[in-house]
Structures are given as C-alpha cells and as structure tokens.
Amino acid sequence: MFVLSQQKVKSLAGAIMLALAACAANAQDYTLVIKGGHVIDAKNNINEVMDVGIKDDKIVRVAKSIDAKGAQVVDAKGLYVTPGLIDIHSHNFYGTEEDHYLSNGYTAVAPDEFTFRSGVTTVADAGGAGWKSFNKFKEQTINHSDTRVFSFLNIVGEGMRGGAWEQNLSDMDAKATATVVKAHKEIVGIKVAHYMGAEWEPVDRAVQAGTSANVPVMIDFGGNTPPLSIEDLFMKHLRPGDIFTHCFAQLSSREAIVDDQGKLKAFIVAAQQRGIIFDVGHGGGSFRFSQAIPALKAGFIPNTISTDLHTGSMNAGMKDQLNIMSKFLNMGMTVQQVMAASTWHPAKAIKHEELGNLSPGAVADVAVFSLKKGKFGFIDSGGFRMDGDQKLETELTLRAGKVMWDLNGISRPSWK
Ligand SMILES: [Zn+2]
C-alpha cells in the first residue's frame, strides 16, 4: 500500500493548488488577441508587426507573439493596428430645437453615428457649449455616448449659438468659464471662435481662463475685421500648448500660414518650436491644398489631425477623420506620422496621456486599418481635387475592449 506522509500530502496539495491557479491565470490572461498586425504606437515607439493582448477593457501586453489560448482572436495580418483615434475638433452639441448651433445652417452630429466607422474612439466637441450650457451637453450627449466625449468650453457663456451671441464680449467671462472647467473632468480646454471684432479680448480672456484652470485654449480665427496678426497670436497672446485649429485655411478674413508666393512664413516654424499646436480642423471651409502642400514641402507637418465634423463638412471634402489622414498620406506624411497626429499627439494636446497609446494597463481603445492602393481623389474646401494612390479604411474599432465596428467580420468566427 502506498502511503503518503502528512508532509507529502501537504506539499502535493500545494502543488495541485498552484497548478490550478496557473491554469486559471492562463485561461484568463486575455479575452481578445489581435494577431500579426503592424502596430503603430507613437508613445511607446512601436512600429512593427506585433500581437496585442487585451483582457476585458484593458491592454495587457504588446509582444512579438502572444499565446491567445482560449481568447477571441482577430487576424490582423496585412493591417495596421493603432490606439483608437482621437479627434479634438468635432461638433456634437445640438443645444435646443429653437437654437441654431453652428452657423450657415449646419448642425452638430451624434458622436456614435460617425466615430467608430472611422476608427475614432474619443472626440472633443469644440466650443458647442459654454459655461451656461455645459450641463445640457453633458446630459444630452456625454452621458449617452459610447464614444468618449470631451469638451472645449466656449469662452462665450452661451456657447456656439451663432450671430450676435458670439459677438457679445460681455458674455466672455474668464472667471465663470474657469470655474466650470475646473468642476468637470470632461472639459479639456477652452474654445475661441467666430469673433468678428478687431479686439484681442476673446483670446486673452480664454487664455486667462485656461491659465486659471490649467487647460489649453483652441483658437478658430477666421472672422476678425481687419484680420489680426497670427504672428502676434502665436508669439504674444498664446501659451505653449495652446492650439491653432484650421491651420491650413485660406480665407480673406484670416492670415494664412503660407504666403501668396507659396512660401511657408518663417515665424510658423518658430511658433511650432515655441509649442503652439497646429491642428488641422478641416471642416467645410478651412482646409486648402494650396496651403497644405507647400507647407508640407517646406518640412512643416501639423501636430494634430482633426475633422471639425458637422453636417456641412462630412458631406463635402472633409468626409471623416480617415479621409483627412489619407490626404496627408498622399501629400507625403508617413503612416506613422498620420497615426501619431491622430492618437498620441492629440492625447498630449488635451492632457490625457492615459489615452492614445497601447501601454499595458491602458484602456483597450484600438483601431485596425487597411491601406488600399488604387486611384483615389480628394477634395479641399476650395472645391479643388488632388489625386492620390492610397487610402485608409477602418476594419475594426474597439472601445474599451468591445467591438464597435467590424467591416469585414475579422473578429467573428466563420458561419461554417
Ligand atoms: Zn469647428
């Protein structure tokens, strides 16, 4: 008869327990593994074929080869895998029915209807709400969206109501604005837009509020009469980290970054070195190839790519975040550069460095893209076309580990 000593029984039981624990740990290491894709994670300097291991809503590991054991597997061979895109200039606040948010008859849109199909998992509404209307925006949209929704609070207390509302200097209250910014974690900055006077007050008050609340200011210049000097804006009024959106606009009412001879102005380079964030903010009227192409040829690249999404831009040359990224690819930026400008750089610009990367422990907001080769055309805000031979398409979007968009079913088992 084989008899175990009490000591041996104890150690055997311990070993079995350990083995069981190890099995359990293995079985639960990952819920989803994205295998064999070309991972671009600018924060972590990753630009090569890697596997991405996800457990529930978090990134666990990015490595050459991950044993998927029991997890859902996505085959991403031949595809790009990146953090979920961050669009820092979107319009998602409707206001009320009698209000007319945004000018020219255009309206804001619900985030979830447009984000996931473009690989976007985070948006920042750019100035729809002011300090008086933020709570309404939070109730209407922020609390009811799967997309992560942030806000640049308008320096105008009433927000982007158009017309005379946005010209009212007495409704641009730095103190009230800063107080509301500090009270809400969803507010990431302050927006200045559409002011048509010759005064600097809107900018200066926004910067005052931004300094008090420790957030950046985003500037939409475009209506000042006469146009204000953008050199003065960058060098005298803004702080490093403040954001100049619509950077490739060409309007009679705003100074452009490229001069009439097609030359990038020298102070633009100095301003970017000073820390001014140049944001695309494409929109319906704010992106011209005649600005972007000479600027890129001169070695300038925008810090962040964003849409200025509303019903006007999405049905014109802008279309969506990926279409803009594709434009920049065809103008000479690399895939790594357009991804960085849509993930890690915007995360830093809005001081949310927990986003826009695939570090272990980060939320599993992930996008998977294909890069199509062929004959494509792109339209700018002047109505001009640029031909191109490559275009990005969203295959898969995960928000907090959950599949929100899957174009070709790469996350699903075959019906057979
Ligand atoms: Zn806008």
Instruction: Kindly give the distance from the C-alpha atom of residue 395 to the centroid of ligand 1, in angstroms, as a whole number.
Output: 27
**Two tokens at 11?**
């150690």
55 CB-near residues (< 8 Å, 6+ apart)? 28, 29, 30, 31, 401
Instruction: Kindly give the distance from the C-alpha atom of residue 217 to the centroid of ligand 1, in angstroms, as a whole number.
Output: 14
Instruction: Kindly give the distance from the C-alpha atom of residue 281 to the centroid of ligand 1, in angstroms, as a whole number.
Output: 7
pTM for the whole structure: 0.93
Whole-number percent of the chain with pLDDT over 70 = 91
Angle (CA) 115 305 296, round 5°? 150
Distances (CA, A) of 398 to 32, 37, 180, 239, 345: 10, 15, 31, 35, 20
Instruction: Kindly give the distance from the C-alpha atom of residue 340 to the centroid of ligand 1, in angstroms, as a whole number.
Output: 21
Cα–Cα distance between 324 and 346 in angstroms, integer?
15
Whether the CB-CB separation of 111 and 85 falls below 8 Å is answered with no
Instruction: Kindly give the distance from the C-alpha atom of residue 276 to the centroid of ligand 1, in angstroms, as a whole number.
Output: 18
Cα–Cα distance between 104 and 107 in angstroms, integer?
9
Q: What is the pLDDT of residues 327-353, one digit of tens each?
A: 999 999 999 999 999 999 999 999 999
Instruction: Kindly give the distance from the C-alpha atom of residue 100 to the centroid of ligand 1, in angstroms, as a whole number.
Output: 14
Give the residue from 125, 131, 68 showing the smallest Cα distance to 350: 125
- More confident position, 343 or 94: 343
Q: What is the pLDDT of residues 108-158, one digit of tens each?
A: 999 999 999 999 999 999 999 999 999 999 999 999 999 999 999 999 999
Burial of 285 (0-12, 13-18, 19+ CB in 10 A): buried
Instruction: Kindly give the distance from the C-alpha atom of residue 91 to the centroid of ligand 1, in angstroms, as a whole number.
Output: 6
pLDDT at 140: 93
Residue 279 has pLDDT above 70, yes or no: yes
Instruction: Kindly give the distance from the C-alpha atom of residue 169 to the centroid of ligand 1, in angstroms, as a whole number.
Output: 20
Average pLDDT on 218-223 reads 91
Strand 385-399 relative to strand 243-244: parallel, antiparallel, unpaired? unpaired
Instruction: Kindly give the distance from the C-alpha atom of residue 308 to the centroid of ligand 1, in angstroms, as a whole number.
Output: 5
pLDDT at 15: 56
Angle (CA) 220 224 229, round 5°? 80
pLDDT at 94: 84
Instruction: Kindly give the distance from the C-alpha atom of residue 196 to the centroid of ligand 1, in angstroms, as a whole number.
Output: 16
Instruction: Kindly give the distance from the C-alpha atom of residue 355 to the centroid of ligand 1, in angstroms, as a whole number.
Output: 22
Average pLDDT on 263-280 reads 98
Residue 28 has pLDDT above 80, yes or no: no
Instruction: Kindly give the distance from the C-alpha atom of residue 198 to the centroid of ligand 1, in angstroms, as a whole number.
Output: 21
Q: Which residue has the tokens 């060409």?
A: 250
Instruction: Kindly give the distance from the C-alpha atom of residue 90 to the centroid of ligand 1, in angstroms, as a whole number.
Output: 6
pLDDT at 101: 56
Residue 378: beta bridge partners? 386
Instruction: Kindly give the distance from the C-alpha atom of residue 289 to the centroid of ligand 1, in angstroms, as a whole number.
Output: 19
Count of beta carbons in the 10 Å neighbourhood of residue 232: 14
Residue 113: beta bridge partners? none
Strand 217-220 relative to strand 243-244: parallel, antiparallel, unpaired? parallel
Instruction: Kindly give the distance from the C-alpha atom of residue 5 to the centroid of ligand 1, in angstroms, as a whole number.
Output: 77
95-116: b or e for each residue (b if 16 or more CB lie within 10 Å)?
beeebbbbbeebebbebbebbb
For residue 106, what pLDDT band results from cuts at 50, 70 and 90? confident
E-state strands within 64-203: 72-75, 80-83, 85-90, 120-130, 148-154, 187-193
pLDDT at 21: 45
